[in-house]
Amino acid sequence: MNSTPFRGHARFLGLLLGVGAAAAVVSGGGSLTARASAPALMPVTSYRSASCGCCKGWVQHMRANGFAVRDVVVADVAVIKRRLGVPTRLASCHTAEVAGFALEGHVPAADVKRLLQKRPQVAGLALPGMPLGSPGMESAYGKEAFTVMAFTRTGAISSFSQHAK
């Protein structure tokens, strides 16, 4: 899986520092001291349908990459998608919010980090459908190439990152 190379790698690492430390807390349990000194985890709120079999996999992927994910089961995900302005043609299963941006579907954590670093003038990122091999969709049946799209409040859509098979 190759995401588009990051520009300004050093700046990106700076952002990651906090996230990395936080991840250590999550995976290692950490002492109270370590917890206190670690920067706050970037909070994400994820909305999913109870019957979806893959949304939890994405939540785990985000947690493993240093995000503090609140996993919310809702009766009607479509309401959330509309509120956050996700274009219908970009729809996936779950929808999430991070720092005022919408995240639709199995968007890789690395793309979310680049979004937070660059803060482009977009409403959010979307990975439409449920591509095999995307985070939370790892499968022995194979992988599919996929493109993470950025979308604006007015519904303009552009390619954010391409991921090969």
Partner 1 sequence: MTTPLRRRQVLGLGLAGLGTAVVGPLLWDRLQHSAARAQPAGAARLASRGGVADLELVASATPGTLPGGPATLLTYNGRSPGPLLEVNAGDQVRLRLRNDLQEPTNLHFHGLHIPPTGTGDNVFLTVPPGGSTTYAFKLAADHPAGLFYVHPHHHGHSADQVFGGLGGALVVRGDLDRIPEVGAASESVLVLKDFASASGQEAAMGVGRMLGREGPLLTVNGELNPALAIPSGGLLRLRLLNASNARIYRLALEGHRMVLIATDGGAIATPESLEELLLAPGERADVLVQGNQTPGSYRLRNLPYQRSGHMGMGQVADAPQTLATLNYAGSVATLPLPKTLIPVPSQPQPERTRRFSLAHAMGMGMGGMQHGMGGMGSGGMGFVINGQPFDPDRIDTRVSLGSTEDWLIVNDDVMDHPFHLHVNPFQVISRAGRPEAQRRWKDTVLVKAGEEVRIRVTFKDFTGRTVYHCHNLDHEDLGLMGVLQID
The residue with tokens 């994405």 is 58
Q: Which residues contact 92 (CB under 8 A, 6 or more apart)?
A: 104, 105, 106, 126, 127, 128, 129, 130
Among residue numbers 98 through 137, which ones bind partner 1 (CB under 8 A)? 105, 127-132, 136-137
Contact 47, 77 (CB under 8 A): yes
Residue type, 138: E
Range 154-159, long-range pairs (CB < 8 A, 24+ positions)? 155/85, 155/87, 157/87, 157/89, 157/90
How long a stretch of residues is the chain?
A: 165
The smaller minimum CB distance to partner 1, of residues 38 and 61, is found at 61
Which one, 38 or 95, has the nearer CB to partner 1? 95
| Least separation in angstroms between CB 60 and partner 1 | 7
Write the interaction track for partner 1 spanning residues 17-36; mark x where CB under 8 A is met and - where it is not: --------------------
- Using CB under 8 A, pick the residue from 46, 65, 92, 161 that binds partner 1: 92
- Touching partner 1, residues 58-87 (CB under 8 A): 60-61, 64, 76-78, 81
Binding site for partner 1 (CB under 8 A): 49, 51-54, 57, 60-61, 64, 76-78, 81, 88-93, 105, 127-132, 136-142, 144-147
